Amino acid sequence: MTHPGRSRVEMQREASAATTLELFFDLVFVFALTQITAMMADRVSAGTVLRGMLVFAVIWWIWTGYAWLANVVKADEGFVRIWMFAAMAVMFVVAFAVPEAFGDWAGGLWGPAVFAVGYLLLRLIHLGAFWAVSEKDAGLRHQLLLWTPSCLVPPGLLLIAATTSGDAQLGLWIAAVVFDYGWTLLIGARGWRLNSAKHFAERHGLIVIVAIGESVVAIGVGVANLPVSWPIVVGAVLGLSVAGSLWWLYFDVAALLAERALSRARGEHRAALARTAYTYFHLPMVAGIVLVALGLKKELEYVGDEAQHTLSDKLYGAPLWAMYAGVALYLLAHVGFAWRSYGAVKRQRLVVAVVLLALVPLMANAPAIVSLAVLAGILAALNGFEYVRFAADRDQIRHAEHDQEH
């Protein structure tokens, strides 16, 4: 469906793919992820990690909202393009304010207020664009009306939080995130529209790639100002192995099966499946990758900075937990994603997640390079096990359609 003239928009169809403007939007998102990692890495502690994850939850809600919008209407057509560029500009400012989301730095604007006001503007731009493109869809407009409190209450709570500090501020942030996610779940999925399963799955696959790429960047940033040495080479290769294993776990089979399941679903069931499997289960999945990036950044500093550390130094506390628990969170999210999407129970990933958490106290007493090697080895073994154990199923999933064409 198109509308002529300046207001022309083009609705997404089943075979639609992600547009280059959406990929451009993702570049701003990855900058925000980089800022979150840097915020947590500056003074790593349980408190800073918690605050970083709350900021991530807010940023994720922004991104996923625009992913839903761009699945209804093409992001690079008509007035929607202008709305998207406006959102990108505000998102960029919000990303700059990430390090000051909980505390203002001396000089300049009040950082927490900049973040909160930016969040409010992003929600209003999103709601306004969605309302404009839903002109002939009464069901979607009704859903948007039900959803409007989610666009107003959480930003309001963050604005109040900008005037506070300590536990009160933290409590307001938690309340904002809980309201956002809880209200959307409470109102159901009946009025939401998912025009293209291919587009929606591709968008989330791309954001997983973006997040994994940010973890690779974190490896480089950790040793960027240090001379190349054998410990750095070994640590970098092991870190890249971890990132590669995360890619393998998602894209080898799981992403394909989930997209096919989403393609078969229709109507409200499709919207509900997309909401749970992608919007909700991809939150801990990408959060896990961000935590891994934090751990890898600190890991490479320990391995490569000979002036501050030796190879016998141990990675412990929040950085070690971030690396191991980040992977565990990623695996647990995969278990939920697979179960909700196509009914598979990935017990081996659940077992490995539990093992990783149990290993943290032991790895706290091992040299940093050893804890990284153990993590890389476990992930490689998991992928190897699945490759061999499910070889026939894997081959059919990945190549059945290709074989039929030939």
CA dihedral for 83, 131, 155, 71, sign (positive or negative):
negative
Nearest to 222 by CA among 325, 120, 117, 305: 305
CB atoms within 10 A of CB 21: 18
- Predicted pLDDT of residue 7: 56
- Predicted pLDDT of residue 4: 47
Tens digit of pLDDT at every position of the chain (406 positions): 444 444 577 888 898 899 999 999 999 999 999 999 989 988 888 999 999 999 999 999 999 999 999 999 999 988 899 999 999 999 999 999 999 999 999 888 999 999 999 999 999 999 999 999 998 899 999 999 999 999 999 999 999 999 999 999 999 999 999 999 999 999 999 999 999 999 999 999 999 999 999 888 888 876 777 788 888 899 999 999 999 999 999 999 999 999 999 999 999 999 999 999 999 999 999 999 999 999 998 888 888 776 677 778 888 899 999 999 999 999 999 999 999 999 999 999 999 999 999 999 999 999 999 999 999 999 999 999 999 999 999 899 988 655 444 4
- Predicted pLDDT of residue 299: 87
- Predicted pLDDT of residue 406: 43
CA dihedral for 149, 151, 154, 159, sign (positive or negative):
negative
Interhelix angle 138-161/111-133, nearest 10 degrees: 170
- Predicted pLDDT of residue 149: 97
- Three-class SS of residue 162? coil
- Predicted pLDDT of residue 139: 95
